[in-house]
Amino acid sequence: MNTLFVKTVGVLSLSLLSTSVLASISNVTQAAEEIPVLTQEAQHAKSAKRVLATYLRNHYKKFAIDDSLSQKVFNRYLRNLDFNKNFFTASDIASFKQYENRFDDALQQGDLASAYAIYQVNLERREARLNYAIGLLKHTYDFALKDDRFYYDREDAEWAKDSAALDELWRQRVKYDLLNLKLADKTIEEAKEILSKRYHRSIKRLYQTNSEDVFQSVMNAFSRSIEAHTSYLSPRNAERFQMQMNLSFEGIGASLQIEDEHTVVRKIIAGGPADKSGQLKPEDIIVGVGQAEGEIVDVVGWRLDEVVELIKGPKGTLVRLQVLKGDSETKKYELIQFMRDKVKLEDQQAQSKIYPATTELGDNQALGLIEIPSFYNGLTAHVSELINELKEQDISGIIIDLRGNGGGSLNESRTLTGLFIDSGPVVQVRSGNGRVDIERDSDGVIHYDGPLTVLVDRYSASASEIFAAAMQDYNRAIVIGEQTFGKGTVQRHKGLGRYYDLNENPLGSIQFTTAKFYRISGGSTQHIGVIPDILYPSAVVPAEWGESQEENALPYDKINRANYTTFSNTQNAIDILTAKHNKRVLQNPEFAYIFSDIEEYQINKDKKFISLVETERLAEQQASKQKRLQRTNERLVRKGLAPIKSMEDLPDDALDIDPFLDEAANITYDLIATGKFAVTTK
């Protein structure tokens, strides 16, 4: 199969099933009780050569097979195997240097013995470290020891100089795990029993490793060394990708990925149970899974497919997740629960509602709000119907909400743009050979010609950026929010198998970049994304998060401007709207909370450790809990409701607050007041 698609930001998922290249999800039928000796299988030589040949012939990015590439693959491979530098020592890395310039030859010849040799050492080091951790559970720990810390982020640290240095890292890690469980109301004896099972389970999984795991890891080190959205899918992952394209699953609607033995939420599927609850967020870490009844099962160190199977279940049944919140400084466990439901990509449809007038400007003026979770097939026709329904309710303007929209169909981004302009170019697409194709709207009809604003955030990407950029370039709408993600590339999915590969093991498939998006004004959406006309305050620094932070991501550049005519100049209106927005924000208590949180985040964002002193951790938790309760009561009082004594007393839906949307409505009312409808003055 050879499929062209616009990849959404985040890990491709089958509701819960992830095709993450970092996850090792081989199908193991029998586990040995010792580290297996792994060697390359016959089909891997053929697969490696085909991957290399396809990238050289068809990839958007041109590259040379030389020692420079070999070194990039070598370094990325080591990071893949030991991302946080908890297993290899500096002497291990020095011994691996003999392979540094061999990966280019290995790929050309299909002989990956060097990669297998490194992986074998990795398995041995992991087994040794986990056994050491089990031994540490016999010790007594002092959780009052001052200045004791766990350094959880070692990506930029030096490799441990020797085994003694690794011993200290693992003392910190085991103590951290124990303290986390203790803070989750486990006794020390219970915590040690949980960790003993966790570490033994991790060792057992090492024994289950097979040759495909090694091949997948090295081929992805190669693929990602070329470009950020290029990857190899093992035969099983390739099968799951095809299932994603055709089927639906019953689960909670989240895309998961394994990172350093932890199951991390990479994306929330719009319209699924997790999305509707608002409890689970990207970057949250799932450490335990339970059913409606019974104990929570510790899943740290589990393989991804096993975690997925535990979370999946029949529609209407309850699943409980023990989660370490990714945005929490206290690193406290939270228990959340969902009712499982069917999650279908085609069911993630746009929704509309009337936004009630909440400002003096908005008296007797209703706004239409259209929330678009993804650019699915049929989106434009659906939005057209929603606009007609809104028109019947005499709306004064429309807000298009693209927050969290990671993209989808290129064609839908073009046709959706066409609802708000009569005709003209929408996006430019440049292929690897330099050819530029212009995607156009040509129906000559404007479906909605009134005031329009587009709300985006840092998770708005790909097709969302195409639409928002076109609205901005035409001066058709005011774009509001955070600078978007900056993904301006197109991927192709291609199987490695051939019809003449009879009676052979399957070869898997690849995803690789074939084209790049450009705005009609000439600039790429890559890296920079779309910078809103009115920027919201944000803790996210664009230079530190998004496509620009993806290693080997394609750069920003420009091509010629397409031939198009803008609507009336709205810069003066934007200046007026920005001044009013800034004044409101300074007087809005909800934005005061946001500014306070941003300040706290900026202070702590570079912190790479967490305290192992129990009283300090408890104090942090209490302060966080108290701040949340205080803000909740302030909100309740502002709404004329009685304050509460604990968060457990908060009634459901008592505080359904979205300050960013509320401010987008205020800006839209301000736009209406300017009379800058744009369309009628073209």
Q: What is the DSSP string of 565-615?
A: ---S--HHHHHHHHHHHHHHHHH-HHHHHHHHHHHHHHHHTT--EEE--HH
Phi first, then psi: give them for residue 481, nearest 5 degrees. Answer: 130, -145
- Tell me the DSSP string of 38-85: ----HHHHHHHHHHHHHHHHH-SS----SHHHHHHHHHHHHHHHSTTS
- Of 461, 20, 524, 494, the C-alpha closest to 224 is 20
Residues 35/41/45/50 CA torsion (nearest 10 deg): -100
Q: 212-226 burial, b if ≥16 CB within 10 A, otherwise e?
A: bbbbbbbbbbbbbbb
d(C-alpha 529, C-alpha 266), whole Å = 20
- Strand, helix or coil at 637? helix
* Cβ atoms < 10 Å from Cβ of 122: 23
What are the backbone dihedrals phi and psi of residue 667, each rounded to the nearest 5 degrees, phi first?
Answer: -65, -40
Two tokens at 456? 């985006």
Report whether 650 contacts 179 (CB < 8 A).
no
Distance CA 66, CA 565 (A): 47
Stated as kind and residue range, the H or E segment containing 28 is: none
For residue 259, how many other CB atoms are within 10 A of its CB?
A: 14
* Angstrom distance (rounded) from CA 417 to CA 437: 17
Residue 555 β-bridge partners: none
Q: Are 427 and 412 in contact (CB under 8 A)?
A: no
Q: Which residues contact 543 (CB under 8 A, 6 or more apart)?
A: 549
Quote the DSSP letter at residue 353.
Answer: E
Label the pairing between strands 478-481 and 452-456: parallel
Nearest to 297 by CA among 371, 198, 202, 226: 198
Residues with catalytic roles: 462, 473, 487
CA triple 185-191-192, angle to 5 deg: 160
Phi, psi of 217 (to 5 degrees): -65, -45
Pairwise CA distance, residues 206 & 127, whole Å: 7
Contact call for residues 115 and 214 (beta carbons, < 8 A)? yes
For 33-51, the DSSP string reads SS-------HHHHHHHHHH
3 state SS of 540 = coil
Q: Which residue type does 35 have?
A: I
Instruction: Tell me the CA distances in angstroms from 406 to 255, 512, 513, one per residue in order.
Output: 13, 18, 17
Residues 6+ apart with CB under 8 A from 189: none
In three-state secondary structure terms, 225 is: helix
Q: Give per-residue burial for 579-607: e unless 16+ CB within 10 Å, then b.
A: ebbeebbeebebbeebeeeeeeeeeeeee
The three-point CA angle 11-261-173 to 5° equals 135
